[in-house]
Homo-oligomer: A and B are copies of this chain.
Amino acid sequence: MTGLLTVVGLGPGDPRYLTPAASEALASATDLVGYGPYVDRVPERPGQRRYASDNRVELDRACFALDLAAKGARVAVVSGGDPGVFAMAAAVFEAVDKGDPAWRSLDIRVEPGITAMLAAAARVGAPLGGDFCAMSLSDNLKPWEVVEARLRAALGADFVVALYNPISSARPWQLGAAFKIVAETREPDTPIILARAVMRQDERIRIVLLSEVEASMADMSTIVIIGASTTRLIERSGGETPYVYTPRFYGVRP
């Protein structure tokens, strides 16, 4: 087979954070496939076909894209952030694994991107400066018991924790439940970062303490970063937002 499928990471949204390699993959594609708002971010190019779908059909979208590639197209599957982190790349490989055996001989590439936790961290300082975990709080694809066990394990070992997919209208209670679990092991003054639509027009970033945080401060465009016991705020003068960082050292003198 001669087709090519590239899963392309668009990064947080601002084209200044799109890698040149990702731009090239988008420009050379004959066909773009993806969730509507992501497809809309890509400049139109004459002759390039565009297939926008809604957000809940990742596997169908992956199969559709693989089928186009199998017919000889150069397909770009567009994904927010990094495609390998709670985004389209895993769906594409799930489809290859379970689907038409001929898809295994396709050339399938992934173009990495700036994932939300890196963009959010960069905006506030260096909260991911120590060891950290990234987990999806969604229980659509795994039982809540697994989410809870992973969160407890990460907190118990004092990792910083980045929560993707923290809340949605269909999953209204999970983030509140997660904050309660966090409060069992972390101090009330633990910094929590709620970063919404990072590096987009409607960006909103809050740094609050665990004692103040509420699930209503997040929506489905938010990433939540929970500090470790060592994560610190650096207060600044003149009402400037504090910096947040996690030191590289732990349990030893710097």
Let me know if B249 and A141 touch, CB within 8 A: yes
Let me know if A141 and B84 touch, CB within 8 A: no
**Interface size range of chain A in the complex:** 35 or more
Q: Which of A28-36, A45-53, A229-237 contacts B (4 or more CB under 8 A)?
A: A229-237
Selected contact of A125 from candidates B89, B131, B132, CB within 8 Å: B89
A238: nearest chain-B partner, CB-CB: B105
Selected contact of A133 from candidates B11, B122, B132, CB within 8 Å: B132
Which A residues are closer than 8 A to B by beta carbons?
A: 11, 14-21, 24, 58-59, 82-86, 89-94, 96-98, 104-105, 108-115, 118-119, 121-123, 125-136, 141-143, 146, 149-150, 152-154, 156-159, 232, 234-238, 240, 243, 245-252, 254
Selected contact of A141 from candidates B21, B114, B252, CB within 8 Å: B252
A94: nearest chain-B partner, CB-CB: B247
Chain B nearest Cβ from A209, distance in angstroms: 18
In the bound assembly, the distance between CA atoms of A158 and B254 in angstroms comes to 31
Known: A16-B21, A16-B24, A89-B126. 5 other contacts (CB 8 A): A82-B114, A84-B121, A86-B129, A108-B243, A113-B114
- 25 A-B interface contacts by CB (under 8 A): A11-B19, A16-B24, A59-B254, A90-B247, A90-B248, A92-B126, A97-B245, A104-B236, A105-B237, A108-B125, A110-B121, A112-B122, A113-B114, A114-B114, A128-B134, A131-B134, A131-B150, A136-B248, A141-B249, A141-B250, A141-B252, A143-B252, A146-B250, A150-B159, A153-B156
Which residues of chain B are near A153, meaning CB under 8 Å? Answer: 153-154, 156-157, 159
Which residues of chain B are near A157, meaning CB under 8 Å? Answer: 149-150, 152-154
A129: nearest chain-B partner, CB-CB: B90
Which residues of chain B are near A24, meaning CB under 8 Å? Answer: 16
Chain B nearest Cβ from A161, distance in angstroms: 9
Chain B nearest Cβ from A182, distance in angstroms: 15
Which residues of chain B are near A125, meaning CB under 8 Å? Answer: 89, 93, 108, 110
Contact status of A237 and B104, CB under 8 A, knowing A90-B129, A94-B254, A122-B111:
yes
